[in-house]
Amino acid sequence: MKKFDIPEHYRSTIIGEIKNRRRASDLRKQDFSPAEFSLGPITFILPRHFGFCYGVENAIERSYKAIRENPGKRLFLLSQMIHNPAVNEDLEGQGLRFILDTEGNQLHPWEDIDGNDVVIIPAFGTTIETEQMLLGKGVEIAKYNTTCPFVEKVWKRSADIGQKGFTIIIHGKHKHEETRATFSHSNQHAPSIVVRDLSDAALLADFMLGRATKEKLEQHFQGKMSANFNADRDLLRVGVVNQTTMLATETQEIADFFKSIMQEKFGEDYKSHFADTRDTLCYATNDNQQSTIEATKVHADLALVIGGYNSSNTSQIATILSNHFPTFFIKDATEIESQSTINHFHYESQTRLQTQNWLPNKSDIRIILTSGASCPDTVIEEVILHIASWFPQAISPEEALTSFMPDKA
């Protein structure tokens, strides 16, 4: 497994040791059950996989490399490197500036960028139009392109099925950086359309089966389909790919749904109308989500999910857990005001909430603790230390490590 050169202040001795022991006891990653990390009166239930993934560590390594290699130059990020405030604020503190926000709105004018500047492409990738514009300005974009290889895998798969005559259905959030980039790339090879969820997919299916009008479809998907999209022609052969941070089970559900629609419409000939794209699901997203699902099978009083409030993959983890436990999506330990008050985020409504009496007043409290793929381990450690400080009888995390067994839960 590749070791990345990321700043030490993102690493946690405690969380790193827990992960190392789990890795050593499960080299083939076949055990997705959680582990218990007990401090005495409080136990943290840690899923098998959480925190930085390959693509995030690669992006961070190359960003700090760009800073070291370009003293005196202006350094820009196309948008947030990853969806985590601690990482992005740290990079801004190193002198990097953002050109766009997470929805593509301009923060720094394009006309001010030239070939003397360093522009870093984030892990989400970018559109072909933006690449061409930067190249036209003489900007070197390959050296510090941190696009996640699993995002690029989606692009390659889209190109492959698009060249075979299939329309690309993208399961994603149409304003998200990654989905905008994937749409731009897939649109080079085939008509493309973005669906947010199964209800969007159902509207497309209604049209495919003659139960909805083209006008209704075009109105609903305005701004979410390629130019000159012709529903009569372009929905006869389809394949599904995804924004890699979406809920993997939902992507598969949507793909299976369209497969069933093609079977209903074309019978035995459905295979020539539906492209199997199961292999575009990101391994890290799958691992994190499957680990979260396994954690729902144990007894717990509540769940804490840590990550940036604009992080799609973190929101999926929070959604999974919220179906089973009181769940609080927080960005870091500062959101936990006290044993009685916690501030947290509701992703779907994009609102911050405050909850009282969030922590049970009892002995032997059990908390599922996990994070999104862009959250540093140090942030997890800070939450553990913050909560443990309220329990004078609790043992230290360092002492707890002496008896920690990775397969205990």
The catalytic residue positions are 178
Q: Say if residues 56 and 373 touch (Cβ distance below 8 Å).
A: yes
The token duo for 388 is 């443990």
**Stretch (H or E) spanning 249:** helix 248-266
Q: Say if residues 41 and 391 touch (Cβ distance below 8 Å).
A: yes
Q: Say if residues 52 and 69 touch (Cβ distance below 8 Å).
A: no
The token duo for 283 is 């391994």
CA torsion 71→73→74→80, rounded to 10°?
-50
3-state secondary structure of 154: helix
Which of 305, 378, 308 lies closest to 342, judged by CA?
305
Would you put residue 365 in left (φ > 0), alpha (ψ -120 to 50) or beta?
beta
Taking the C-alpha atoms of residue 330 and residue 328, their distance in angstroms, rounded to an integer, is 6
